[in-house]
Amino acid sequence: MKEWIKLKSEHLLDLKIFKARFEFLKNPRNNKEVKVTVLEANDAVNVVAFTPQQKILIIKQLRFGTGQFSIEIPGGFIDDGEDHLTAAQRELREETGYSSTTWTYLGYVYANPVFMTSKIHHYLATDIVLDQATDFDDEEDIEQFLWTKERLLDAFDKNEITHPHTISALARAALLRL
């Protein structure tokens, strides 16, 4: 494939968690200029976390985009200057009160490569222990559960888990251990 040529960028808005811009590109197939929308955001992390008894930590929280509660795994944005492992450890601790000393990096996916710049880094945390209080962000009110493998599979069967980043992390973890 031929390279697309960037003609210019036009920064639009700072939307707290996103910065919006237009990119003006030249399509090498037809030499036409196109205007596309790009959302910039910090990368994020999520954590597939297992207890010593092999139960998986699941959370439920309101997602403002859909206005519905979502069944997921813990995670969130990486702070400026923070590495993704530190962010994963922090998000697990803040959202659930659990921690772990055993971490495995599972890789990343792009949040939505159609129009976003950010990645979601997936981690596996094993032998988690509840050893601290939660520390929710102002926008969070999280309920947590410890599920068996069978309950998790039942949730997939009933389409109860619909968050794409949770699904991709669980798929990566399944290749290792489920």
Share of the chain above pLDDT 70, in %: 99
pLDDT band for position 177 (cuts 50, 70, 90): low
82 pLDDT more than 90: yes
Domain boundaries, the chain: 5-40, 44-176
Determine the Cα–Cα distance for residues 128 and 49; give it in Å rounded to an integer: 7
Q: For the segment 119-137, what is each residue's pLDDT rounded down to a tens digit? A: 999 999 999 999 999 999 8
Q: Per residue in 61-76, is it b (16+ CB within 10 Å) or e — as a string?
A: beeeeeeeebbbbbbb
What was the pLDDT predicted at 149?
A: 94
Per-residue pLDDT tens digits for 48-68: 999 999 999 999 999 999 999
CATH 3.90.79.10 fits 44-176, yes or no: yes
Q: Would the pTM of this model clear 0.85, i.e. be above it? A: yes
pLDDT of residue 74 exceeding 70, the answer is yes
Q: State the maximum Cα–Cα separation within the chain, in Å, rounded to a whole number.
A: 59
Under the banding of pLDDT at 50, 70 and 90, the label for residue 178 is very low
pLDDT at position 9 over 90: yes
The share of the chain scoring above pLDDT 90, in percent, equals: 96
Burial group, residue 41, by CB count within 10 angstroms (0-12, 13-18, 19+)? middle
